Amino acid sequence: MNGKDTPLAPAPAAPATPAPAAPAPEPRPNPLAHLPLPFQTADYSLKGYHLDATVQPGQVVLAAQLMDREGFSLDTITGVDWLAQGQMEVVYDYFHPGRGFRAVVRARIPRENPEIPTLSQVFPGANWHERETHDFFGIRFLGHPDLSPFLLPEDADYHPLRKDFTA
Amino acid sequence: MIVNEPNPPGSAATAPNETFVLNLGPQHPATHGVLRVKMTMDGECVLRAEPVCGYIHRMQEKMGENRTYAQYLPNTSRIDYLSAMTYTHAFVGAVERAARIQVPPRAEYIRVITSELNRISSHLVWWGAFLLDLGGFTPLLYAFDDREMILDLLEGITGARLTYCYYRFGGLYNDVDETFLKGTRQFVLHMRPRLKMYRALVTDNVILRKRLIGIGPISPELCRKYGATGPVIRGSGVAYDVRKAEPYSVYPELDFDIPAFPEGDSMARYLVRMEEIAQSLRLIEQALDKLPAGPVMAEKVPRVLKLPAGDYCYAVEAARGRFMVRLVSDNKEIPYRVKLRTPCLSNLSLFEEASRGMLLADALALMGSLDLVIPDIDR
Per-residue pLDDT reduced to its tens digit, B133-161: 888 889 999 999 999 999 999 999 998 98
Which pTM does this prediction carry? Answer: 0.85
- What are the per-10-residue average pLDDT scores of chain A (167 residues)? 42 41 52 80 86 90 90 92 91 90 92 92 92 92 91 89 85
Q: What residues have CB less than 8 Å from B178, skipping those under 6 apart?
A: none
List pLDDT tens digits, range B237-251: 999 999 988 899 899
A37/chain B closest Cα distance in angstroms: 20
Identify whether A85 is part of a domain: yes
Contacting residues of B for A73, CB less than 8 Å apart:
223-225, 227
A126/chain B closest Cα distance in angstroms: 7
Identify whether A123 is part of a domain: yes
For B:137-196, CB contacts with A below 8 A are none
Identify whether A50 is part of a domain: yes
Amino acid A64: pLDDT: 92
Identify whether A152 is part of a domain: no
User: Could you give phi then psi for residue B292, rounded to 5 degrees?
Assistant: -80, 160
For A151, which residue in chain B has the nearest alpha carbon? B54
Domain residue limits at A133:
40-142
Kindly report the CATH number assigned to the domain that includes residue A130: 3.30.460.80
Looking at the partner chain, which of B225, B245, B311 has a beta carbon nearest the beta carbon of A124? B225
Q: What residue segments make up the domains of chain B, in order of their start?
A: 60-378
- What are the per-10-residue average pLDDT scores of chain B (379 residues)? 58 68 73 79 88 88 90 90 92 91 92 94 92 87 93 92 90 90 94 92 90 91 92 92 90 92 92 94 93 89 86 92 92 92 92 90 89 88
A14 neighbors A24 (Cβ within 8 angstroms): no
For A78, which residue in chain B has the nearest alpha carbon? B339
**Angstrom distance (rounded) from CA A83 to CA A107:** 15
Contacting residues of B for A99, CB less than 8 Å apart:
245
Tell me if A100 and B246 make a contact (CB, 8 A cut-off): yes
Q: How many domains does chain A have?
A: 1
Amino acid A39: pLDDT: 85
Question: Count of CB contacts below 8 A, A vs B?
Answer: 121
CATH annotation of B60-378: 1.10.645.10
